[in-house]
Structure 1
Amino acid sequence: MTSGVPVIYGLGLDAAGRCQHYHLETDIAALWCEQCRRYYACYQCHDALCQHAFVASTPLSLAVMCGACRYRMTVTTYHLGYCPHCHRAFNPRCRLHDRIYFGADCE
């Protein structure tokens, strides 16, 4: 953490955690790697920056962080499709990667 604000790791990030791979207005969900114990903009950024593949978080952990306001949430809360704190929408297509981020038993 820097100045009390949780850090999002990735390549070519903007202030809301959008990276060089995913940079639409709604691409603001940062994902927790259980091995690194850090939030990454996406699994591709993680895999480019680390010596191991992304390790899925547990469904009950604070597996997702909103890049807009840095609110941390569970997978169930993330699946609402928006941040409950700042009400910004998440990209619904990110659910295509649920198995990578949350494992096979994610919901």
Structure 2
Amino acid sequence: MAMRIFGETVDDQTRCIHYHTAVDVVAIKFKCCLRYYPCHLCHEEEADHPAQTWPRNDWAEPAVLCGVCKGEMSISAYLATTSCPNCAARLNERCAAHTHFYFQTLTEPLR
């Protein structure tokens, strides 16, 4: 069964209307609704609730989907790599600038 991706995707590799370069091939499962969206803007536009970030205690959860192979990876695995651990697809390194939209920052107290 294919994983459902919410938001305005532009192709079957999870690129969206906001981020659609060759390396924009991940979708994030949002903690608040457990739905995959390509980006925080897609969630903001479509969801009927504010986004919640994943606390560090939950970073072992599979919450990142590779749009190329459709494999899930844990948050920890995603944050530690620049390519999919399942298929080696290159991931957008610039996404690191947006991790605070999805995951508790290292400077926030544990929750």
When structure 1 is superposed on structure 2, of 44-53 and 97-106 the one drifting more is 97-106
Contact 2:14 2:27 in 1 (8 A): yes
Instruction: Determine if the alignment matches structure 1 residue 70 to structure 2 residue 70.
Output: yes
Q: Given residue 64 of structure 1, which amino acid in structure 2 is its aligned partner? A: V
Question: Unaligned stretches of 5+ in structure 2?
Answer: none
**1:94 CA displacement:** 0.3
Matched, 1:9 2:6: yes
With normalisation by structure 1, the TM-score equals 0.88
Distance 1:7 1:67 in 2: 11
**CA RMSD for the aligned pairs?**
1.5
Identity of aligned residues (%): 33
Counterpart CA distance in 1 for 2:68 and 2:7 is 15
For the pair shown, the structure with the greater C-alpha radius of gyration is 2
Name the SS of the counterpart of 1:63 in structure 2.
Answer: strand
Residue 52 of structure 2 corresponds to 55
Q: Which runs of 5+ in 1 are unaligned?
A: none
Query: Which range moves more in the overlay, 81-90 or 57-66?
Result: 57-66
- The number of residue pairs the alignment matches comes to 103
**CA distance in structure 2 between the aligned counterparts of 1:6 and 1:104, rounded to whole angstroms:** 27
C-alpha deviation, 1:62, in angstroms: 1.0
Does structure 2 retain, via aligned residues, the 8 Å contact 1:60–1:74?
A: yes
TM-score (norm 2): 0.85
